[in-house]
């Protein structure tokens, strides 16, 4: 009798705990999402309405705003999207391929400077790119590569964080017997890496390709220093901010932000299962 009363009490306590948790979770969700909701609402309303009244209901002006934006010759949005796409896709491809290659080199082979090479890569992991920006601009301009995409793509070959992830992944999944078996079958090492190792670590490559793409897509600091005539999406956004925005059609401004943010979020939501699962692999564990 006494026992069941105690059980009843803990059940009740658990119920209230859960209710509190859900309330907090809903509040946090609202905090995360309110700005996107406002974005969607205002991107679908005409300028005059945005200026005059507050609304929580989306309008039906989204496609008109979008076509206004696309026909605006002062904002080369399509070109910007294309530039961003080229830079991000190339960076993602280079980062994942060469990080996997570096990781495989250190994982699968024994050589004299192996330990030092590994320790060195781990040490440079946290160096911010900004601190070498001055030297970087001067080097790029000496090379005659200002306002080109190469200085934004090629440095991604050396990415310590992706390397570390790839190496951890290989350690957890790639037995070296496979490499040796391929060797016995007469495959050369490079071929083994491309034909056997890469397919095995495909999940890691996919996760890191997404992250590298996003990082490059969102990058603002370096492209803003290197590019002048060519523009990427973040540069276009910053230009919009420095222009006297009150003169702008606000519908266009909201649609522009929408285009910069929402497509990527949709891709994220579709792939979130894999992204969230992949996140913790290769990271520090307690």
Partner 1 sequence: MQQIAKNKRSISYAKWGYLFISPFFIAFIVFQLIPLISTFYNSLYEYYFENLRYVGPNFVGFKNYMDIIANGELFKYAENTMIIWIIGYIPQILVAMLLAVWFTSYRLKLKFQTFFKTVAYMPNLIMASAFAMLFFMLFGNGGPVNMMLQELGITDEAILFFDTTVTTRGIIAFMNFIMWFGNTMILLMAGIMGIDQGLFESAQIDGANSFQVFFRVTLPLLMPIIAYTVIVSMIGGIQMFDVPQVLTNRLGTPDRTSMTLIMWLNRHLTQSINYGVAGAVSVIVFLTTTVLSVFVYRSLMKNYNSQKPAVKRIKKQEVKG
Q: Are 275 and 207 in contact (CB under 8 A)?
A: yes
10 Å CB burial of residue 69 (0-12, 13-18, 19+) is buried
Stretch that binds partner 1, among 57-65, 68-76, 200-208, 255-263 (CB under 8 A): 255-263
Nearest to 212 by CA among 107, 96, 80, 41: 96
39 binds partner 1 (CB under 8 A): yes
Q: Kindly determine how many residues on this chain lie close enough to bind partner 1 according to the rule CB under 8 A.
A: 106
251 binds partner 1 (CB under 8 A): no
With b for 16 or more beta-carbon neighbours within 10 A and e for fewer, the 113-147 pattern comes to eeeeebeebeeeeeeeeeeeeeebeeebeeeeeee
Q: Among 76, 85, 214, 249, which residue interacts with partner 1 (rule: CB under 8 A)? A: 214
Residues recorded for the chain: 286
144 binds partner 1 (CB under 8 A): no
What CA–CA distance (Å, rounded) separates 167 from 100? 7
Which pair of structure tokens corresponds to residue 117?
């090479």
Q: Among 151, 204, 208, 252, which residue interacts with partner 1 (rule: CB under 8 A)? A: 151
Residue 36 CB, shortest distance to partner 1, in Å, is: 8
In which residue are the tokens 């564990």 written?
Answer: 285
117 binds partner 1 (CB under 8 A): yes
Enumerate residues 42-71 that contact partner 1 by CB under 8 A. Answer: 42, 51, 53-54
Q: Among 79, 141, 194, 283, which residue interacts with partner 1 (rule: CB under 8 A)? A: 283
Stretch that binds partner 1, among 62-70, 85-93, 201-209, 271-279 (CB under 8 A): 271-279
Q: Among 109, 141, 147, 194, which residue interacts with partner 1 (rule: CB under 8 A)? A: 109
93 binds partner 1 (CB under 8 A): no
Nearer to partner 1, 79 or 129 (CB): 129
Residue 24 CB, shortest distance to partner 1, in Å, is: 7
With b for 16 or more beta-carbon neighbours within 10 A and e for fewer, the 18-46 pattern comes to eeeeeeeeeeeeeeeeeeeeebebbbbbb
Residue 94 CB, shortest distance to partner 1, in Å, is: 9
């Amino acid at each position: 009798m006494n026992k069941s009363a105690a059980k009843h009490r803990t059940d009740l306590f658990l119920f209230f705990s859960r209710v509190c948790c859900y309330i907090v979770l809903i509040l946090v969700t609202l905090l995360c999402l309110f700005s996107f909701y406002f974005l969607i609402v205002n991107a679908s309303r005409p300028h005059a309405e945005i200026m005059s009244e507050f609304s929580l209901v989306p309008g039906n002006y989204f496609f008109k705003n979008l076509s206004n934006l696309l026909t605006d010759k002062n904002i080369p949005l399509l070109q910007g999207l294309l530039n961003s796409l080229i830079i991000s896709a190339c960076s993602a491809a280079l980062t994942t391929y060469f990080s996997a290659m570096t990781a495989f080199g250190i994982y699968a082979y024994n050589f004299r400077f192996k330990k030092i090479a590994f320790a060195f890569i781990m040490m440079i992991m946290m160096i911010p790119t900004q601190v070498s920006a001055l030297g970087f601009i001067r080097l790029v301009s000496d090379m005659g590569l200002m306002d080109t995409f190469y200085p934004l793509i090629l440095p991604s070959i050396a990415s310590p964080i992706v390397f570390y992830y790839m190496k951890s992944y290989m350690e957890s999944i790639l037995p070296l017997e496979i490499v040796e078996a391929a060797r016995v079958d007469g495959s050369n090492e490079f071929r083994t890496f491309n034909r056997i190792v890469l397919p095995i670590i495909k999940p890691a490559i996919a996760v890191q390709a997404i992250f590298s793409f996003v990082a490059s897509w969102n990058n603002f600091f370096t492209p803003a220093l290197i590019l002048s005539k060519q523009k990427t999406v973040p540069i276009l956004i910053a230009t919009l901010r420095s222009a006297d925005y009150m003169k702008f059609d606000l519908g266009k401004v909201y649609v522009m932000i929408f285009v910069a943010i929402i497509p990527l979020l949709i891709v994220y939501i579709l792939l979130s299962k894999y992204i969230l699962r992949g996140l913790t692999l290769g990271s520090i564990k307690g």
